[in-house]
């Protein structure tokens, strides 16, 4: 008698299909699924963090460009440029722009506005990355 026709007790009976003889239960894939799920969640969080950083840099860049445009105008000042950049940040970034620093300087007729801050994090705000954007323009004569 072949092992394919024996049951668990070693008695002969009808043939057992090969797929049932190799069945080891559902527990075999548990660890792979668990670690695979954790890896997938980490990958998705990394993508969201990257998009968050990219978006924050775009907001900083827009605010710096607007600030330097106002400050470099014929009758503009660094105070007006800083104020404009801060108002653009408040409108576009909302609550996560509270720790952003806006600096303006003028050297040899070139006005520079620099915005530095932390991007919003995926899980909580303090987990973000530092981003800095600088825009420059010549002073209008």
Rg (CA), the chain: 31
* pLDDT computed for residue 33 by the predictor: 80
- The residue ranking higher by pLDDT, 129 or 17, is 129
**pLDDT at res. 79:** 93
What is the pLDDT averaged over residues 86-99? 84
Give the whole-angstrom CA distance, residue 104 versus residue 118. Answer: 19
Between 56 and 21, the higher pLDDT residue: 56
Share of the chain above pLDDT 70, in %: 76
Instruction: Tell me which DSSP letter residue 122 carries.
Output: S
Instruction: State the chain's mean pLDDT as an integer.
Output: 82
Contacts of 89 (CB under 8 A, 6+ apart): 59, 60, 63, 97, 100, 102, 115
- Distance from the Cα of residue 31 to its chain's centroid: 28
Going by pLDDT thresholds of 50, 70 and 90, the confidence category of residue 88 is: very high
Is residue 71 exposed (0-12), middle (13-18) or buried (19+ Cβ within 10 Å)?
buried
Look at residue 120 in the predicted model and tell me its pLDDT: 81
Q: pLDDT tens for residues 35-71?
A: 889 999 989 988 888 888 898 899 999 999 999 999 9
């Amino acid at each position: 008698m072949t092992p394919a026709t024996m049951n668990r007790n070693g008695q002969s009976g009808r043939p057992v299909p090969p797929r049932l003889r190799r069945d080891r239960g559902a527990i075999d894939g548990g660890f792979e699924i668990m670690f695979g799920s954790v890896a997938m969640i980490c990958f998705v969080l990394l993508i969201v963090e990257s998009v968050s950083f990219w978006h924050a840099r775009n907001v900083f860049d827009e605010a710096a460009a607007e600030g330097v445009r106002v400050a470099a105008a014929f009758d503009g000042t660094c105070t007006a440029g800083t104020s404009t950049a801060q108002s653009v940040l408040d409108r576009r970034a909302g609550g996560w722009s509270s720790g952003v620093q806006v600096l303006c300087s003028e050297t040899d007729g070139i006005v520079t506005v620099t915005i530095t801050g932390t991007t919003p994090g995926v899980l909580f705000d303090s987990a973000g990355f530092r981003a800095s954007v600088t825009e420059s323009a010549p002073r209008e004569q």
